[in-house]
Structure 1
């Protein structure tokens, strides 16, 4: 039986991205030893989409109010991408210090 999921972010600056997740996004974490932080994720859902690139995986964090969350992040010095609308909700990109980006969206679809 599957009991959970472990998501990995690959980065060019793991210390900066870990600090961003912990201090800016305020995602709870534990130090599993030597500064290796493991973050607790909120309840998750998984979608499967077609794409020309196989073996491509993306991480989107979900919020209830995209505008409010973007304003909160702006107050912490984070400049998100311009929000966009899709049939499933509104979304933006959140830049990580290591050069990557997380998705952030306000879901408009039914959630499991």
Structure 2
């Protein structure tokens, strides 16, 4: 039986990325040994989207109010790499993770599965 999902963010500077997840986003974590932090994520969802091009995977963090979240994270020094845009299904932006590229952040307008039991 599936008990969870393990998401991996590859980073050229894993220590900087871990510090960002721990100190800026405030994610709880365990130390698997030698400072190898594994973070607790909020409830998540999985969707399968069709593609006509190469197969890829993306990670988005979800929030209730994208404008307020951007304001809060900007005050903590987070760099956003795009403005907030209306994608129809939600409001979306991207943020920079030190040493690990970008992550999407969005406020969904569609029903979500995160509250299902």
Same fold (TM over 0.5): yes
Q: Partners in 1 of 2:59 and 2:100 — Cα distance?
A: 15
Aligned to 1:84: 85
Moved over 4 A (4+): none
Contiguous gaps of at least 5 residues in structure 2: none
Aligned to 2:28: 28
TM-score (norm 2): 0.91
Aligned to 2:99: 98
TM-score (norm 1): 0.95
Q: C-alpha displacement at 1:79, in angstroms? A: 2.3
SS of 2:26's equivalent in the other structure is: coil
Q: Partners in 1 of 2:87 and 2:17 — Cα distance?
A: 28
Q: C-alpha displacement at 1:99, in angstroms? A: 4.4
Q: C-alpha displacement at 1:100, in angstroms? A: 0.6
CA RMSD in angstroms, aligned pairs only:
0.9
Aligned to 1:67: 67
Q: Partners in 1 of 2:110 and 2:98 — Cα distance?
A: 30
Q: Partners in 2 of 1:104 and 1:22 — Cα distance?
A: 17
Q: Partners in 1 of 2:96 and 2:71 — Cα distance?
A: 15
Contiguous gaps of at least 5 residues in structure 1: none
